Amino acid sequence: MDQILGQVLRNAVWERLDMLADLAHEADSPALLSAARSELPRLTQGWRVMLSAHEPDERGDCPTCSTRWHRCKAPCSVWQVAHDHLVAGGLAHFQDSRRVRRLRRTAGTAATGSSVPDQTSARRSAASPTGRHALTGGTGR
């Protein structure tokens, strides 16, 4: 049951991110302004919550990514991705997001032997081997 609920949660998040990216690319100025005012504070707060869970402890380890047997030194991959997308890459990632989403949609799952364009697609394919929205009944547009 937890796997089903987890997949439903993941699908809902992927759909929301797709919707926001589509809005950024296709909406008119008033719709963009309205979306920015409502969504940007939510997105920034979400990043803050997630990053605070990955703040290094007194030993310089990420308490979330570390296990009992393997310590993960800061900055962990979550902080590295945050920096890449929010600071270093800035708009470069934003400009390619639509092309990457199309590639993800047209790429086969890892189970069929098709190449997967990025790590996000690999995680999504592994989590949903029978289709992107197999449990929610969605078609992915």
Residue 97 lies in a domain: yes
* Total structural domains within the chain: 1
Residue 14 lies in a domain: yes
Domain of 108 in residue numbering reads as 2-53+89-127
State pLDDT tens for residues 37-61.
Answer: 999 999 999 999 999 999 999 999 9
Spatial separation of the C-alpha atoms in residues 12 and 139, rounded to whole Å: 13
Residue 76 lies in a domain: no
Residue 15 lies in a domain: yes
Mean pLDDT, the chain, as a whole number?
75
State pLDDT tens for residues 70-100.
Answer: 999 999 999 999 999 889 876 554 545 555 5
Residue 96 lies in a domain: yes
Residue 23 lies in a domain: yes
Distances (CA, A) of 134 to 73, 98, 114, 124, 131: 37, 22, 19, 12, 5
Residue 20 lies in a domain: yes
Residue 17 lies in a domain: yes
Would you say the pTM of this structure is higher than 0.85?
no
For the chain, what percent of residues have pLDDT higher than 70? 63
